[in-house]
Amino acid sequence: MKTPIWFGVSLVAMASCGLAGASDHSPCDLHATRTGWHVFVDHQDRFCFEYPPKYHVAPAVFAPGVSTGNATRFIGRLTTVPSPSEVAPGADLKAATINVFAYGMPFRPEDLTKRAPTGDQDSPPKRIHAAHGEFYYYGRGGGGLDYPDVFYFGSRGRTFSIDFVGPYSQGNTPDRETKRIEPEVLASFHSF
């Protein structure tokens, strides 16, 4: 008795699906869903998101006296300036940058008030719902300093942020183009 060819094809298809499901692939590994966009994948912390083609991965060089703040680990830097850029006050006046940080603290939204840009712990962050996650937003603070748009999120019980920095052509908050892409980047976010 001959076995129908569709039976053999079905077995091969089921076996390959089983292998793919058992591997360590992220939802973003295959391709970006937006034409021309790239994919940022953090395999260690198991999350990913898409970013526009004008951004490039660039190493960060911290200027003397400049640190990652309360972050315990710098995960990635995507910038419109494709060379290594220095992280320093005023460094992002013309460049648009997306920084990704890990914090050495459990994720509890109520604790994020300690990170308010003005130091005003009575100001909770704005809760933002995206397609595959929830973010907590802090933007412009007081005074004459430049403030990034910071979106905190929790992954596997830990705290992370995606910071949209500059350019600051219209005051002390990122310009309109940066603000336009923020919801698109956040909508593409996945934990895996």
Q: What is the pLDDT of residues 98-142, one digit of tens each?
A: 999 998 889 999 999 887 776 666 678 999 999 888 999 998 766
Q: What is the pLDDT of residues 21-56, one digit of tens each?
A: 334 555 666 566 788 999 999 989 999 999 999 999
Q: What is the pLDDT of residues 54-105, one digit of tens each?
A: 999 887 665 555 555 667 788 888 888 766 555 554 555 678 989 999 988 8
Q: Which of 91-95, 144-148, 158-162, 168-172 has the lowest mean pLDDT?
A: 91-95
| Pairwise CA distance, residues 178 & 149, whole Å | 9
Residue 170 binned pLDDT confidence (cut-offs 50, 70, 90): confident
Pairing of strands 85-87, 60-62: parallel
Second CATH level (architecture) for the domain 29-191: 3-Layer(aba) Sandwich (3.40)
Higher pLDDT, 1 or 176: 176
Question: The whole model's pTM is what?
Answer: 0.77
Q: Is 110 left (phi over 0), alpha (psi -120 to 50) or beta?
A: alpha
190, 28 Cβ separation under 8 angstroms: yes
For residue 160, count CB atoms less than 10 angstroms from its CB and return exposed for 0-12, middle for 13-18, buried for 19 or more: buried
pLDDT at residue 146 in the model: 78
Domain boundaries along the sequence of the chain? 29-191
pLDDT at residue 58 in the model: 82
